[in-house]
Amino acid sequence: MKLNYSLGNIEPHWFVGDLPFPGVGTKPVRAKLSPWHLPPIAEAKLLIFFRDSPKEVAVTLMMTYHYEPSRASSPQVKAEATPSSPISGEIRIALPPEAVGQIRRINGDEYELILEDIELINVTSAAGT
């Protein structure tokens, strides 16, 4: 499966249909994507979007990672430094409907997304970041 990612904002995949979970907003998720050649992920969240006309949904996987200041010059790293906090960056992946269909509830409001045999395509410059 091909997945577009960005180190900033990314246009989500809008589609007609239901999500495999209820609600709107942001939900924590345990994400396991392979192969994974980007920095280790510290936290992952699902950003869920709805629009009424036409009625569509979209999900973006937002992953936060921490890194050493010496890596800040890496082309894969975008820094968001705040005083007294670790240096971190974000990777956003626009999930197509077939990936959204793989999201599973594992306990209460906890979710899991396992995707194998993925190809990550960097669209950072195309996203205007």
- Tell me the pLDDT band of 22, cut-offs 50, 70 and 90: confident
> In this predicted structure, what is the pLDDT of residue 33?
95
**Contact present, 60 and 29 (Cβ < 8 Å):** no
Q: pTM for this one?
A: 0.80
Residue 39 tokens, joined: 């920095």
Per residue in 38-80, pLDDT tens? 888 999 999 999 888 888 999 999 999 987 665 444 445 444 5
Per residue in 65-122, pLDDT tens? 987 665 444 445 444 544 556 688 899 999 999 999 999 988 877 899 999 999 999 9
